[in-house]
Amino acid sequence: MPREDEAAALLGATLSGRYRLDEVLGEGGMGAVYAGTHLKLGRKVAIKLIKPSVAGDENGLERFFQEAQAAASVESEGVVDVMDLEVDAERGAYIVMERLQGEPLTTRLRRGKMRPEEAVRIIGELLDVLHAVHSHDIIHRDLKPPNVFLHRDEKGTEVVKVLDFGIAKVAQRHLTLTGEIVGTPRFMPPEQACGEELDQRTDLYAAGMLLYCCLSGKAPFAGVQGPKVITLLVRGPTPLRELEPDLPPALLAVVDKAIAPEREKRFASAAAMAAALRASLVDPAPPAATAAPDAPPEPDEPRERRRTPMTLLMVALIVLAVVLGVGLTVFRHSLP
């Protein structure tokens, strides 16, 4: 039976005698997400029900619980509100969350590239959420369009919500072994593809790639699928200035810095990136190269010249990882 049919077969079922599964909203690697109803309160909720294959794996089950606990630990309007975490005797563990109204960033991107003002607003709000997440020593590690939701609140205001903390890295927890690669290749930085130790700059790279998508209307590494994406990470996608030369230079500089292959050249924090992003529309001129020690490379510098020995080493490691098949889970995502 196809996975979609398996999820649909549970419609109308109840969990723990409290929640009814009303509609399938989507399905991910760890479970299916349903629109549901709290039977006693009549409240509309979203319910993520664990897959049997995940429930039977100790590490997978712990990741599922961590997803709920990580999201619940962050006090931010931009993190989906977790209301309950329970285990149904028959159907397994499930997470009850607030029911969102709106659309994922994936849907918005299908309508084409955004005006700079809209892109800056959305990614700026995302960075505000990341600032709160990182302050709790949590790294999301899988920011991509389906995991960024544009929610309409009761007042009709659009609010950016971050979803799916299933592979988040939480301090003091070791659910990922050194050398294990998790995430979505199209939005992961080279160090993540190499299975190296990660920090908050991993999420900032992904935010930079999302900004790239918003401003260009194109997925990074468009036309390339699967593990082949990994081999292109160090080179980077087609420079945004080649796709959208009329964008403000300061905005282009923010993108360049955010998606720098070497993490030491990226922004140090979500707050710093958010400030530079919002300032890029106020003062469209890029900062002088001497203004800050971590300023991005000059835009006209040949790309080949910027490759350092460490960069070449990372290329070799990435290619080796692909050849050896290190258990990379590839999530395919395409934009028009």
- Provide the annotated active-site residues: 142
Assess contact for 322 and 227: CB atoms under 8 A: yes
Do β-strands 102-104 and 138-139 pair in parallel, antiparallel, or remain unpaired? unpaired
| DSSP letters spanning 31-45 | EEEEEEEETTT--EE
What's phi and psi for 104, nearest 5 deg? -75, 160
For residue 79, count other CB atoms closer than 10 A to its CB: 22
Pick left, alpha or beta for residue 112 (phi over 0 → left; psi -120 to 50 → alpha; otherwise beta).
left
Distance between CA atoms of residues 315 and 129, nearest Å: 32
Buried b (16+ CB within 10 A) or exposed e, 237-249: bebbbeebeebbb
| DSSP letters spanning 276-302 | HHHHHHHS-SPPPTTS-TTPPPPTTS-
For residue 34, count other CB atoms closer than 10 A to its CB: 27
3-state SS class at 24: strand
